[in-house]
Chains A and B, each alone.
Chain A
Amino acid sequence: MSMISVENLDVWFGRGRDRVDAVKGASFAVKRGESFGLVGESGSGKSTILRAIMGLAPDWSGQITVDGKAISGRREKGFYKQVQMVFQDPYASLHPRHSVDQVLGETLLLHGFTDIDDRVVKLLDDVGLGGKFRFRYPHQLSGGQRQRVAIARALAAEPEILLLDEPTSALDVSVQAEILNLLADLRVEHGLTYVMVSHDLSVVGHMCDQLAVMKDGEIVEIMAVDALRAMKAVHPYSQHLLEASV
């Protein structure tokens, strides 16, 4: 059974001449414990698909099923314990006047944990930041450090599903390697399911089992990672994308 299934998803914004059909008829399914990649053109609707699953897109139609439950309207409270998202824009997703300690502490509290102190320390260690960053504010962190706080916050809830929007594009390659290893370990240890957006095909190749290629709001191709490695794309746009990235 699929952990996440998206069928015939349309997402649109605005109206009249400002209407944008950001996602058009997208369908894909991700099995429990699998990692699914979303790649494609900038502005093609990748983030919008993740946001729709999180309940952050006001206008959509089609069917989204998570762990066998069709979701619509407001998400139930338990939803955000099960599904967490790391946003593309770490600066915008962290409150400027909340320290790292507050961000993580409050998230832990919200999800009903009591051993807050130990968990904050553990989370910071997991993402390679360590205790000296605990009482810093977002503006006192580099871009990559902020991104790691955002990842730690998503992990705090111990979710089963992680939606990762360009989780390592703000990170240098060595921290990227640490984070990707951590995500791979977590997936094995806890059977997590990932949907991961990245513009870096080698990152998707390393992390995912399957991937969808998007262009202009549509999924033009779904391929297995072996096909990606073998450079065997069918759709002209995916072929172009593959050729351009070597």
Chain B
Amino acid sequence: MTLLDVENLWVKFPSRHGVFDAVRGVSFTLGKERLGIVGESGSGKSLTGRAILKLIRPPGIMTADRISLEGDDLMPKSERDMQAVRGQRISMVMQDPKFSLNPVMTIGEQIMEAYQLHNAVGKKAAFAKAVEMLEAVSIRDAPRVMRAYPHEMSGGMGQRIMIAMMLIPNPQILIADEPTSALDVSVQRQVLDIMDNLVKERGMGLIFISHDLNLVADFCDRVLIMYAGRIVEVCDADKLREAKHPYTQGLLNSLPRLDEPCARLQVLKRDPAWSEAPSVSGRI
């Protein structure tokens, strides 16, 4: 079943030197699946995620023929209505986790506040729930972390706290922007398992933005590969390593490998034709 249907999404930034098209007519659907978005830095992955929530700040402009959430078009919605969508129905874990936390509130206060906003429970129950959630994302000393401030957290702890918070409202869709980029492999596995369970058990749709091709190949169901604001290839995640587009091939070849040491890593040789080809549709 289709949860989200995005058609012809554009994000533009007018500047003195003309208009910069950061996202150029992207279309895709999301079902109860794990949809990966990969692509080089600056290809428009984060902006695509933010645009779904209509979080493009002026002077940026976004347009789309439609962004429909279970048949309900978000494009005509007012900012006020969007606030109900954000958090409640679609959650997003931003790429800069610590930046999204309030620096002057303790981690505990923030999680409890978010939890109580969505659940009619007292302080005590909210506290217990918050500790439970931190432990679920493998935070070792949850009681201490509850009393701590964001700047006292390590990079990976910040990421895990954000993930815990975004799951509180039990969203239909989670957009996770590089959610595990600072995590060691074993903690990463635990965080992925949590997201995986939500997709399988609660039928959540997951948009997983990452530059880690191996991770996306193993974890996701389907992958959109973005280049210069467009989708250049769509494939099943388990076929990612056999992807055909020279850009995708180039990305795969630039990975360092433990089993094959080399003096220099391969870098991409970009072909102008890649950015001229029309966007491939990721709709099914």
**Residue ranges of A at the interface with B (Cβ–Cβ < 8 Å):** 13-14, 17-18, 20, 39-43, 46-47, 88-89, 91-92, 139-140, 142-145, 165-166, 169-178, 180-181, 184, 199, 201-203, 205-206, 216, 228-229, 240-241, 244-246
Given contacts A42-B182, A43-B140, A177-B265, contact A91 B96 (CB under 8 A): yes
Closest Cβ–Cβ distance, residue B91 to chain A (whole Å): 19
Interface centre among A43, A92, A169 (most CB of B within 10 A): A43
Listed stretches B74-82, B124-132, B185-193, B199-207; interface member? B185-193
B264 and A143 within 8 A (CB): no
| Chain B residues numbered 118-159 whose CB sits less than 8 Å from any CB in chain A | 138-141, 144, 147-148, 152, 154-158
Given contacts A13-B152, A18-B147, A241-B186, contact A205 B41 (CB under 8 A): no
Residues from chain A with Cβ under 8 Å of B267 in the complex? 174, 177-178, 181
Given contacts A175-B40, A175-B41, A203-B256, contact A143 B251 (CB under 8 A): no
- Given the complex of chains A and B, what is the CA–CA distance between A140 and B250 in angstroms? 27
Quick one: which of A17, A18, A88, A172 contacts B251, CB cutoff 8 A? A172
Q: CB-defined interface of B34-45 with A at 8 Å, one 1/0 digit per residue? A: 000011111100
Residues from chain A with Cβ under 8 Å of B42 in the complex? 142, 144-145
Q: Would you call B2 an interface residue if the criterion is a C-beta within 8 Å of the partner chain's C-beta atoms?
A: no
A241 and B185 within 8 A (CB): yes
Residues from chain A with Cβ under 8 Å of B152 in the complex? 13-14
A205 and B256 within 8 A (CB): yes
Q: Would you call B95 an interface residue if the criterion is a C-beta within 8 Å of the partner chain's C-beta atoms?
A: yes
Residues from chain A with Cβ under 8 Å of B147 in the complex? 18
A199 and B184 within 8 A (CB): yes
Known: A42-B155, A143-B46, A244-B189. 14 other contacts (CB 8 A): A42-B138, A43-B156, A166-B182, A171-B41, A172-B43, A173-B254, A174-B267, A175-B41, A177-B254, A199-B183, A199-B185, A202-B258, A203-B256, A205-B261
